[in-house]
């Protein structure tokens, strides 16, 4: 009997000890070409993390190019050599055209050179020189994810910050449509990668395009970083930087849960993540789709990026919807998301709206410890579904929608902005549309700026929002006057604008200062009408856009906001992670 239990125990242990991942494939600059039945002269099988020995075929060694994973150069292959659940570790690729230096190990996607008269086409999986891309990455399973990893994936971040020098770079070129294709894929992890292009010479949008139009087959550019579809689900993007594309950093709807940890989507010519796939009508997100974003930054979208990058704000040119461009960071479409969670998200200096636009309806929205500054439209903009829950806590906002009209320190030149729709839709700082039977909590936030209105509230169906509670608690709202903001407008911001008669607000323990109307006419109980006394607070009239740069949200000793809030269940820390006492400070920051 004991032998039978022992045998059963060994079987159980073998079952539990099955590998979580399948075959591991390796890409490194000193690897070799891919062996296959169609290419028997290929040098390596791609399954060992070793260099090619410079002799023999089908050796147990790494491939020297990421593109060998789906193209063996037989002009007949059009599928990934790996299976779902496999892992690819990219240490770099052998040098090809337009590397930063001859020793640059970056991995090209798309053509090596112009037109098809080259020895390697590298365009299987697409159609024509303007459509080259890899086939969709094979899906994994819930217990065995497919993984596309940069070589430092196990040590790619310090705390909550990505070590960008540790990222492995892949870049699209010569008109490639998609650099990394995740359309329809499920259970895929992408980690420790920089996904970009080596362009810096041409743009895709504008009338005329700026700095000049991109010519397919001639200019070395890429359109999109990552492609998704409404079947893409259970995707992890972690320690990923997506930047510099002439169109979109990420493009497409989603089909399930998406997790983003320490991701940057910056300086893409049209948008950061554009969920609209341009179908007619746009393909909706699948039911149950959700996004969980932690430490995600969207900056400078709507701007073409310089290459090589040598400036802190590397915008060659910026366009908005008034000059043939766009510029949203997150850009939704007519669809619904089950939930969206943003923790330490940042939307900075995008040429249109900061977050997420008026089309995507969100059932459960949580935005915390996040910031939105200097975007050309609204800083925050969203729509909810009926029976929804919205929680917006511990966030920092500067409503300076015309910031991009003035030079940005660290930009390549002072003439990068070609904008025609700045401060669109009146430039309200917040614009959100509620629905029936919902709750909205706006608490412990700090909002400053000069836009026309701070909070523009509306209702999706006329007179339908009487059952929805808008609760404003423990917030600082500080207005500035910018005489140049709008011709003939000499007013500081208004506080609340209720565009539907059914909208109503419950407000308490807020601090209002320098806003339109007398403090007694503003809504709320236990209201403080006094200067919050921020550290290095600028004058209340803004004479130069740069005056709100690097605004210090910390409060000085003696601020009337300190200790005058009311405790809120679940809000135990401030924006910076400091413990909230009881009673807490009003605003996003404890002293």
48-90 per-position pLDDT tens digit: 999 999 999 999 999 999 999 998 888 767 789 999 999 999 9
DSSP one-letter code for 6: H
Structure tokens at 199: 């362009």
What pTM did the predictor assign? 0.94
pLDDT attached to residue 161:
97
Local structure of 13: helix, strand or coil: helix
What is 518-547 written as a DSSP string?
-GGGS--BS-B-S---BTTPPPSB-SSGGG
Burial 512-547 (b: 16+ CB within 10 A, else e): bbbbeeebeebbbeebbeebbebeebbeeebeebee
pLDDT digit string (tens) for 353-371? 999 988 889 999 999 999 9
- Measuring CA to CA, how many Å separate 169 from each of 149, 174, 220, 245? 11, 17, 16, 14
Residue 232 phi, psi dihedral angles, 5° rounding: -75, 120
Structure tokens at 336: 């619904």
pLDDT attached to residue 14:
39
Q: What is the dihedral of CA 349, 350, 355, 360, to 10 degrees?
A: 180
pLDDT digit string (tens) for 466-513? 999 999 999 999 999 998 876 556 689 999 999 999 999 999 999 999
**Is it the case that residue 132 has pLDDT exceeding 70?**
no
Is residue 347 within 8 Å of residue 288, measured between CB atoms? no
Calpha distance 181→120 (Å, rounded): 21
**Is it the case that residue 564 has pLDDT exceeding 90?**
yes
Structure tokens at 458: 């509306």
Residue 208 phi, psi dihedral angles, 5° rounding: -80, 165
Bin 441: left if φ > 0, else alpha if -120 < ψ < 50, else beta: beta
Label residue 15 exposed, middle or buried (CB < 10 Å: 0-12, 13-18, 19+). Answer: exposed
Structure tokens at 61: 């060694």
Structure tokens at 149: 């990893």
pLDDT digit string (tens) for 314-345? 999 999 999 999 999 999 878 899 999 999 99
């Amino acid at each position: 009997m004991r032998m039978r239990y022992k045998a059963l125990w060994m079987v159980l242990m073998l079952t539990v000890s099955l590998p979580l991942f399948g075959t591991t494939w390796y890409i490194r600059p000193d690897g070799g070409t891919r062996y296959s039945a169609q290419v028997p002269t290929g040098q390596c099988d791609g399954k060992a993390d070793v260099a090619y020995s410079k002799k023999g075929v089908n050796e147990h060694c790494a491939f020297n190019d990421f593109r060998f994973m789906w193209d063996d150069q037989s002009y007949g292959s059009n599928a990934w050599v790996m299976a779902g659940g496999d892992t690819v570790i990219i240490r770099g690729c052998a040098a090809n055209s337009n590397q930063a230096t001859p020793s640059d190990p970056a991995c090209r996607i798309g053509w090596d050179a112009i037109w098809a008269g080259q020895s390697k086409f590298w365009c299987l999986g697409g159609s024509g020189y303007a459509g080259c891309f890899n086939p969709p990455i094979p899906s994994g399973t819930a217990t065995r994810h497919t993984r596309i990893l940069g070589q430092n994936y196990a040590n790619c971040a310090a705390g909550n910050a990505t070590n960008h020098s540790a990222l492995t770079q892949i870049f699209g070129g010569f008109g490639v449509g998609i650099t990394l294709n995740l359309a329809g894929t499920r259970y895929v992890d992408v980690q420790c990668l920089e996904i970009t292009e080596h362009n810096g010479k041409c743009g895709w949008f504008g009338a005329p395009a700026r700095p000049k139009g991109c010519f397919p087959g001639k200019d070395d550019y890429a359109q999109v970083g990552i492609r998704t579809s409404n079947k893409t689900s259970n995707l992890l993007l972690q320690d990923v930087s997506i930047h510099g594309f002439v169109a979109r950093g990420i493009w497409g709807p989603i089909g399930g849960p998406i997790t983003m940890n320490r991701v940057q989507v910056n300086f893409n010519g049209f948008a950061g993540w554009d969920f609209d796939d341009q179908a007619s009508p746009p393909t909706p997100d699948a039911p149950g789709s959700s996004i969980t974003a932690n430490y995600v930054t969207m900056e400078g979208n709507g701007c073409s990026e310089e290459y090589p990058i040598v400036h802190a704000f590397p915008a060659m040119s910026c366009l908005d919807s008034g000059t043939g461009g766009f510029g949203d960071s997150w850009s939704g479409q007519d669809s619904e998301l089950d939930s969206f969670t943003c923790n330490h998200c940042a939307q900075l200096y995008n040429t249109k709206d900061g977050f997420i636009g008026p089309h995507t309806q969100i059932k459960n929205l949580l935005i915390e410890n996040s910031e939105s500054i200097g975007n050309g439209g609204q800083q925050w903009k969203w729509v909810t579904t009926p029976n929804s829950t919205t929680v917006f806590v511990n966030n920092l906002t500067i409503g300076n929608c015309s910031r991009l009209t003035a030079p940005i320190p660290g930009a390549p030149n002072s003439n990068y902005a070609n904008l025609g729709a700045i401060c669109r839709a009146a430039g309200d700082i917040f614009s959100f549309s509620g629905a029936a039977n919902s709750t909205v909590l706006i608490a412990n936030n700090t909002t400053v700026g000069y836009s026309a209105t701070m909070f523009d509230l509306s209702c999706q169906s006329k007179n339908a929002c009487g059952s929805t509670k808008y609760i404003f608690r423990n917030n600082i709202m500080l207005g500035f006057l910018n005489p140049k903001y709008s011709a003939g407008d000499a007013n500081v911001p208004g506080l609340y604008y209720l565009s539907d008669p059914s909208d109503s607000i419950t407000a308490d323990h807020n601090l209002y200062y320098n806003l339109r109307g007398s403090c007694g006419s503003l809504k709320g109980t236990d209201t403080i009408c006094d200067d919050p006394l921020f550290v290095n607070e600028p004058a209340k009239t803004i004479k130069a856009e740069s005056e709100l740069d690097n605004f210090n949200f910390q409060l000085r000793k003696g601020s009337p906001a300190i200790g005058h809030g009311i405790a809120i269940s679940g809000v135990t820390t401030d924006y910076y992670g400091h413990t909230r006492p009881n009673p807490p400070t009003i605003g996003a920051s404890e002293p």
